[in-house]
Amino acid sequence: MKKKNVAKVFLSLMTVSTMMVSVNSLYSYADSNDSNNSPLNNNSSNNNNSSLNNTDNNSIDNLSSQLNYDNFFTKLSPLATKIANKNDLYPSLLLAQAALESFYGQSGLTQNSNNLFGIKSFNGQGVNTDTTEFNGNNSYTTNSVFRTYPDLSSSLQDYADFLNNSRYSNVHRSIATTVEEAAQNIRDDGYATDPDYGAKLIRIINNNNLKSYDSSDSSSQNDYNKGLDINTSVNTNNSQIHNSQTQNDDSKSENIKYNSANGQETFKLSNDYKSYKLSNHAEGSKFQIKNYSWSNKLNSNKKVFADCLAIHKVGSQESKFYRIRLGNDSKRKYWVSEKALDLPNVTYTKTNKKITVKNTDSKQLYNHVYNSPYLSQKIKNTKDLSEDNYNSNMKATIDNNGVKTDWYRIYIAGTGNAWISSKDLSNIKTNDSKKNTYNKTSSGYAYLNNYGKYRLYDKIPGTSKSVKVSNWDKIKVPSDYLVSYDSSGVNGKDNTNWYHININHKTYWISSSALKF
């Protein structure tokens, strides 16, 4: 989606591969190939947020002519940050894409048409120019019509509107936990044909310290805080999914929490799946919801792939939605109520076992039980474990249509809790030891995570009757405070893990559940 002729000054600054980057037509939608289903209107002036009220119109109109390699991010960041924050996007990623797609504002499309992202015209109106596309590793030149904008603000907003569809939902901050994940997701979702597109975006972000823009406050939306609980306003225009709770009391607190996954976990459609609509977003999100019908070719035995769980709460009412693909290779993604899926049952029981991991195979460990309703992410490979023996204080049995599998939760120093299948264990036996054990060679750093729920002790609980407790109200630290630890230990009575941390030059013992590595 680049114009072939580029200002000579940038030939020395951009590698050939970067200059050849090209993007698939931005109108190959996940939900439909019909242009009427596009979230973008052919007339860019119809965008509700196409301009920023508190930005000087004259400076916006002339901004494209002021851009160059040295001032690109400084000049564009005020606009990009506001628009990104209003649309649940990473400002750093928006800026990096604008730089890569426009050759730091020097492309002919940007200079002449205010088109930062090389978005093509769908109605034939615009500017006709050459563009380079990729077919695998081979590039070719073709001719396309590209859109024109009155100013760069309209171009940025139009691109943000484009990302507001189910295909690119995992690019949003509410789902992608890091900008690196979002950058790779936008490549994997089919935005670009260049196989190195995600890596190039990350390189631009890191080389120009663009992450500093991601911490900017937004007055127009609540902070999504990278996937933690978020407050959202109720969109009265949203279509309500079958059996959902209608909110009549505006005073009820509402939030939505996302759990992202690797995308290979599968569930069968339930017997009454057709009673529930497919949607472009989960109910409770800040986006306007569009519903879709099921294909007549599907049936209740059909397996679908889930890669994200949304938990929507309104007061005491809770509903869950899953983002699914109808096929493993499908780029189209939809949100659907949990009631449209036949989810397995999982039973959790406390245990006190000593387990031995098989060292002959390379298997995965997950942050949750694999293929459970909570979904999971890979966090470790068994071949990367430094030990073979671990203590487990929790067992889960997952029943998937009569097929039962046991999983054990273990604790890995420097990583945290991990779940491993009993199939990947060579030995499981009762742990008879009741004594606390210590590892004084364990040291490093971790972030406090929901730490207010956990107490601070001068010793691991159970060590003696004289264990002292310290209150958090006397310790003033932010919620994501980075602390150091110089040793770790295991409580012999309940097999819980503990860390000896340093806060404000004082040391305490705290549960591993209060830390995030």
- 386's torsion region: left (phi>0), alpha (psi -120 to 50) or beta? alpha
Distance CA 204, CA 76 (A): 15
Distance CA 479, CA 502 (A): 15
Rounded to an integer, what is the distance from CA 471 to the centroid of its chain? 34
How many other C-beta atoms can be found within 10 angstroms of the C-beta atom of residue 414?
13
Distance CA 331, CA 328 (A): 9
Name the DSSP class of 349: E
CA distances from 379 to 30, 120, 365, 370, 385 (A): 29, 39, 6, 12, 11
β-pairing verdict for 334-337 and 230-231: unpaired
Contact at 8 Å (CB) between 291 and 278? yes
Rounded to an integer, what is the distance from CA 421 to the centroid of its chain? 26
Q: Which residues are catalytic?
A: 133, 158
Distance CA 449, CA 362 (A): 30
Contact at 8 Å (CB) between 514 and 371? no
- Give the model confidence (pLDDT) of 66-80 as tens digits: 888 888 999 999 999
pLDDT at residue 137 is higher than 80 = no
Distance CA 254, CA 75 (A): 37
Kindly indicate the confidence band of residue 265, based on its pLDDT and cuts at 50, 70 and 90. very high
Phi and psi of 151, rounded to 5°? -160, 170
Average pLDDT over every residue of 115-133 = 74
Best CA proximity match to 2, nearest among 149, 158, 115, 157: 115
Helix (H) or strand (E) segment spanning residue 339: none
Average pLDDT, the chain: 76
Q: What is the pTM of this model?
A: 0.50
Average pLDDT over every residue of 202-213 = 90
How many other C-beta atoms can be found within 10 angstroms of the C-beta atom of residue 112?
15
Helix (H) or strand (E) segment spanning residue 277: none
Distance CA 344, CA 210 (A): 42
β-pairing verdict for 515-516 and 444-448: antiparallel
Structure tokens at 431: 């742990």
Contact at 8 Å (CB) between 90 and 179? yes
CB-based burial, 11-46: b 16+ in 10 Å, e otherwise: eeebeeebbebbbeebeebbbeeeeeebbbeeebee
pLDDT of residue 479: 62
- 293's torsion region: left (phi>0), alpha (psi -120 to 50) or beta? beta
SS3 79: helix
CA atoms within 13 A on the CB side of 432: 0
pLDDT at residue 26 is higher than 80 = no
Average pLDDT over every residue of 490-503 = 83
CA angle 95, 228, 395 (to 5 degrees): 130
Phi and psi of 112, rounded to 5°? -100, -25
- Give the model confidence (pLDDT) of 366-410 as tens digits: 989 999 999 998 888 898 888 888 888 899 999 988 889 999 999
Average pLDDT over every residue of 14-42 = 32
pLDDT of residue 452: 73
- Give the model confidence (pLDDT) of 309-341 as tens digits: 989 888 888 999 999 999 988 878 899 999 999
Contact at 8 Å (CB) between 329 and 189? no
Compute, in degrees rounded to 10, the torsion defined by CA atoms 410, 415, 421, 422. -30
Contact at 8 Å (CB) between 408 and 422? yes
- Give the model confidence (pLDDT) of 443-470 as tens digits: 888 878 766 778 898 888 876 778 888 8
Return the biggest CA–CA distance within the chain.
Answer: 80
Contact at 8 Å (CB) between 351 and 392? yes
Average pLDDT over every residue of 27-54 = 33
